[in-house]
Structure 1
Amino acid sequence: MINVGVLGATGAVGQRFVQLLADHPWFNLHTLTASERSAGKKYGSIVNWRLDAPFPDSIGETVVTPTTVESVKDCDLVFSALPAEIATPLEAGIAEAGVAVCSNARSHRMDPDVPLVVPEVNPDHLGLIDLQRDRGRDGFIVTNPNCSTIVLVMALAPLRSFAFTDVRVATMQAISGGGFSGVSAMDIYDNVIPYIGSEEEKMETETRKIMGRFTGSEIEDAPFGVSASCHRVPVIDGHTLAVWMDVGAPVSEVKKAYANFKSPFSNLPLQPAKPVEIFDQPDRPQPRLDRNRGRGMTVSVGRIREGLRFIALGHNTIRGAAGASVLNAELIYSKKYL
């Protein structure tokens, strides 16, 4: 087993990391970091556990350390749940110090030599790790996309064999995507908020990088356009996407493509048996009923109609955040980058 740490372990995504790593068969959860006011205290005494999962008692006695490069020097790999303004310099410093970083932060997603990875979609992009090392970095950084982007690219990946040049998406995003204090109750109750800062830009740029081609030295963006409109809705967990594409193939062929879609990996502990699951019922998928499929790692697709039009759903803090980083780390470990 290799020693891993979580940067920002007390927040919404940090808690998901702790949940997923507490009893992981490959990774030993060695270090938890948080703010200076939490440093030196036991994790179980300071965390306000707010997940729909039991608190992992095995982690409760772990003493939290400050979020610094020095704190994670004994780790082989760290998972970052940090805000971007903190993550930008710190993740780079950790990688320079020889530690691998799997980041959920947006800071380095669009860096030319940093892989932006969803294992079922673009595992070959991990080749960028070699470019980072060639440039003198002892460790490396690998990122996962924005939570809505992950749901979108998982829904698009089975459709790669169809010709399309235009993707339009409207999101209905859960409040947990903004963190524990991200949206006030007075703002979200009886309401829909039609703007999430920088979310649309992330979806429009990240999607094209993920589905682009790795040439061996760079990523060439995918040759289609993405137009997004993002909205916050009063749902706790689970981002729902309404997608329109210029695919002219019959619905029966599209459904067959989804039904035949499989992960190229079967040995990764967090990999769901069905990375994408389709529904024939006209009122599915729904967040409350379907977000936890595949332990929160399955993306659900339904209402597939001519046009092409469909609905996609994924758990935003598992598949769209912590679970995505852990699955990336499993792929990295299986490829012997650690």
Structure 2
Amino acid sequence: MDRRRRRPAKELAGPLLAGLLLAGGAIPAALAALGDAPLKAMLWVAKGADPARALGTVPTECLKVPADRALAASVEIGRAAFRTQVLLGGQAARAGITCETCHRGGRANPDFQFPGVSGAPGTADVTNSLFSTHRGDGVDNPKPIPDLAGPKAALKVDQDPAAGKLQPFIHGLVTEEFDGPEPTPAVMAGLTAYVRALDPAACPAQPREPMSVALLMSDARRALTAAEGAAAEGDAPTAMLMVAAARSRLGLIDERYAAPALAQPRADLRAADRRLAGVQAALHERRVDEARDGLAAWLAGSRRLQAALTAHQAASLFDPGRLAQAAKRRLPG
């Protein structure tokens, strides 16, 4: 049994405050060898995938929101945590990997093919030492990525709350499979609630939707609303992770606005990110009233930011034609 000390939630301030999430960071050698790419996701999209579908659209989310308000709020915490690399830490975070990377929209990802970790597209070796110092077994054994919104009976772990199996399983994935820091109790409960709330009966009629500024900004607002709730409860570490989740979504917009002609909207986006970095700092220093005011102000201005970004979306890599050209130049292989 590995007895190395886990960082408790109160020690997560360093990872959460370490630089702009927009700016990214060093990536594992397995990816660096492939060179730069306009979108990080291009580094693990299978070379035979259709870039318009794999990078220009996402699966629609099959989320059954609980009627209970407290449980619904917990689901939102889990949903946001599911979408930020800060949850996982280590090599995964440096590569930009989140839970959603393998489970897009809470589903599977048939286009995922990470160098050294995947076999066929849509598979991953969860005992690979690239991401885990705990579970690396030296054996190449990639397995199909499961659809978390599929029939519950087909999934590996019993999700019945009475069984008590799902939360320990998710905890092991975060802290051992990906060497992530110890999540807060609220984040662990939220991840568990979110996975349980994924339901095939809740799948929209349309299986996919376009990746867009509006979609990512909506995710950011939902994460920051969850941050407001956590801050109101006095749970600063959870609130900080929620802000990190919002910043992660801004980062996904930012990388599609790298063209010189988009310098102004990108500058506006980065200014918005800096304001969220200030909120994180206030939460870390327990200046809760300042943080809550900052969250409220950011949310109030987010529609204007979204409108300004959307006005230039056709000139960005959200545009299918521009995305196809970028993918043609950059997809490995």
Tell me the TM-score normalised to structure 1 length. Answer: 0.28
Structure having greater relative contact order (Cα 8 Å, sep ≥ 6): 2
Name whichever structure is richer in helix by fraction. 2
Flag the structure with higher strand content: 1
